[in-house]
Structure 1
Amino acid sequence: MNNNNLLQMPKLGFGLMRLPENENGIDLEQVCQMVDLCLEKGFNYFDTAYIYHSGKSESIVREALTSRHPRESFFLATKLPAWELNTEADIQRVFDEQLERTGAGYFDFYLLHSIEEGHLKKYDGFHCWEWAMKMKEKGLIKHFGFSFHDTPELLDQVLTAHPEAEFVQLQINYADWENKLVQSGKCYEVARKHNKPIIVMEPVKGGTLASLPPELEAMLKELRPDDSIASWALRYVASLDGIMTILSGMSNLEQMQDNLKTMGDFSPLSEKEREHLNLMTEKLLAADTIPCTGCRYCVDGCPQQILIPDMIRAFNTVKTYKGDQRPFFFYDSLTKDGHRASACVQCGVCESVCPQHLQVIDIVREISEVFDKK
Structure 2
Amino acid sequence: MEPVKGGTLADIPEEAEKLFKSYHSDMSVASWAIRFAASHENVMLVLSGMSSMEQLKDNLSYMENFKPFAPEEFELVCEAAKMINQSVAIPCTGCSYCINKCPINIAIPKYFALYNADMRELETKAWTAQTMLYSHFSEQYGKAGDCIRCGQCEKICPQHLPIREWMKKVAERFEGDQGNS
Shorter-chain TM range is 0.7 to 0.9
Q: What is aligned with 1:239?
A: 39
Q: What is aligned with 2:98?
A: 298
Q: How many residues align?
A: 174
Q: What is aligned with 2:13?
A: 213
Distance 1:215 1:329 in 2: 29
Q: Deviations over 1:19-77 (max 9, x none)?
A: xxxxxxxxxxxxxxxxxxxxxxxxxxxxxxxxxxxxxxxxxxxxxxxxxxxxxxxxxxx
1:368 aligns with 2:168: no
Secondary structure of the residue aligned to 1:244 is: coil
1:334 aligns with 2:134: no
Change (3 A) 1:369 1:206: same
Distance 2:145 2:93 in 1: 22
2:2 aligned to 202, 209, 215, which one? 202
Q: Which has the higher strand share?
A: 1
Distance 1:227 1:274 in 2: 15
Residue pairs, 1:19-58, within 5 angstroms = none
CA-atom RMSD in angstroms: 2.6
Q: Deviations over 1:1-35 (max 9, x none)?
A: xxxxxxxxxxxxxxxxxxxxxxxxxxxxxxxxxxx
1:347 aligns with 2:150: yes
After TM superposition, the score normalised by the length of structure 2 is 0.80
Deviation at 1:211, TM superposition (A): 0.9
Q: Deviations over 1:299-326 (max 9, x none)?
A: 1111221121222122222333424525
Distance 1:258 1:327 in 2: 33
Residue pairs, 1:168-179, within 5 angstroms = none
Counterpart contact for 2:15–2:83, Cα < 8 Å: no
Residue pairs, 1:1-374, within 5 angstroms = 201-287=1-87, 289-321=89-121, 322-323=123-124, 325-373=128-176
Deviation at 1:208, TM superposition (A): 2.0
Counterpart contact for 2:99–2:106, Cα < 8 Å: yes
Deviation at 1:223, TM superposition (A): 1.5
Which moved further from structure 2: 235-244 or 286-295?
286-295
Distance 2:169 2:52 in 1: 32
Whose RCO is larger (CA < 8 A, sep 6+)?
2
Deviation at 1:354, TM superposition (A): 2.0
Q: Which has the higher helix share?
A: 2
Change (3 A) 1:261 1:327: farther
Counterpart contact for 2:38–2:44, Cα < 8 Å: no
Distance 2:16 2:89 in 1: 15
Deviation at 1:289, TM superposition (A): 2.1
Give the counterpart letter for 2:160 in structure 1.
H
Change (3 A) 1:269 1:333: farther
Distance 2:159 2:138 in 1: 25
Deviation at 1:329, TM superposition (A): 5.0
Change (3 A) 1:216 1:329: farther
Change (3 A) 1:350 1:213: same
Unaligned ranges ≥5, structure 1: 1-200
Distance 2:48 2:4 in 1: 7
